[in-house]
């Protein structure tokens, strides 16, 4: 049917669903009227970047009015920022798996309550490149963990639940085909490695803690490259898992 799924039987018995971190709710807002025609959702870490992206889309779509005046739909909270340009929703998710996970839970419920259909969601942002030219765009085929495995491990109560992290292959190929029209940005398909930390987790030598040598770091990064990893960031496994489970056509693209 193209609808966004939620897999939570408890929601049906709730009098009101408050999307707390988005400052929205099923009683306080008419979500179908506000968001029912959304077809694309683009998410990224920085509120300022997502505002700039929404302004860019406003101009590209030839929408009426001044894109400089786009209002933050989530202005009542300081957790996330959300902007709309026609059928495109642009939302910040902060840094790391916990932050994007909270936002995605509420975003998916928002799209469900709004009765959106055939929604495509794309994570855009910067990342650390691995053996590729700086400024390249990496389109993720599979998000992998720090052991180069395509999985997202979520602790639910005291159980470790393992979820798939494959992304939509048709959307991946469609984005790659679109990239041919923009020769200024070298574009490739590769695995994206998701870590829980910016410093030790990504092999950096300049954190407050470092227990490994530069030689050990390079050996690890070479193994990652040989496993198909072309960039490193901190959200892709959670993004892929949640989108896949809830029927969202999702893809992740990054610029190292």
Please report the DSSP string for 121-182 in residue order.
EEEEEE-EESSS-TT-EEEEEEEE-TTS-SEEEEEETTEEEEEE-B--HHHHHHHHHHHTT-
H or E stretch covering 230: strand 229-233
Beta-bridge partners for 43: 91, 123
124 marked among binding-site residues: yes
Query: How would residue 93 be classed by pLDDT, with cut points 50, 70 and 90?
Result: very high
3-state secondary structure of 246: coil
pLDDT of residue 110: 98
Domain range summary for the chain, segments of one domain joined by +? 1-118, 125-255
125 marked among binding-site residues: yes
79 marked among binding-site residues: yes
62 marked among binding-site residues: no
What is the chain's mean pLDDT, rounded?
95
151 marked among binding-site residues: no
Answer yes or no: are the C-beta atoms of 112 and 121 closer than 8 Å: no
pLDDT tens digits along 107-139: 999 999 999 999 999 999 999 999 999 989 999
| pLDDT above 80: residue 254 | no
Share of the chain above pLDDT 70, in %: 100
Fold of 125-255: Rossmann fold (3.40.50)
pLDDT of residue 66: 85
pLDDT of residue 19: 98
pLDDT of residue 182: 85
| pLDDT above 80: residue 208 | yes
| pLDDT above 80: residue 256 | no
CATH class assigned to 1-118? alpha beta
163 marked among binding-site residues: no
The reported pTM is 0.94
Q: What is the DSSP string of 49-62?
A: HHHHHHHHHHHHTT
Query: How would residue 247 be classed by pLDDT, with cut points 50, 70 and 90?
Result: confident
């Amino acid at each position: 049917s193209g609808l966004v799924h939620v897999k939570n039987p408890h929601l049906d018995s709730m009098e009101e669903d408050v999307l707390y971190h988005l400052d929205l709710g099923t009683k306080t807002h008419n979500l179908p009227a506000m968001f029912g025609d959304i077809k694309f959702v683009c998410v990224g870490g920085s509120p300022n970047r997502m505002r700039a992206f929404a302004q860019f889309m406003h101009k590209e779509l030839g929408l009426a009015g001044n894109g400089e005046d786009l209002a933050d739909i989530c202005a009542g909270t300081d957790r996330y920022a959300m902007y709309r340009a026609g059928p495109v929703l642009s939302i910040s998710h902060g840094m790391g798996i916990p932050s994007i996970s909270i936002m995605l839970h509420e975003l998916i419920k928002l799209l469900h309550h709004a009765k959106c259909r055939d929604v495509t969601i794309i994570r855009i942002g910067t990342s650390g490149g691995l053996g590729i030219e700086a400024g390249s765009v990496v389109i993720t085929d599979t998000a992998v963990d720090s052991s180069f495995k395509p999985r997202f491990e979520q602790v639910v109560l005291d159980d470790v639940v393992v979820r798939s992290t494959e992304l939509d292959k048709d959307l991946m190929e469609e984005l790659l085909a679109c990239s041919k029209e923009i020769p200024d940005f070298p574009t490739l398909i590769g695995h994206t490695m998701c870590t829980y930390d910016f410093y030790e987790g990504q092999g950096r030598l300049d954190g407050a803690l470092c227990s490994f040598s530069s030689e050990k770091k390079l050996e690890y990064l070479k193994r990652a490259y040989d496993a198909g990893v072309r960039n490193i960031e901190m959200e892709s496994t959670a993004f892929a898992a949640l989108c896949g489970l809830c029927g969202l056509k999702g893809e992740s693209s990054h610029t190292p």
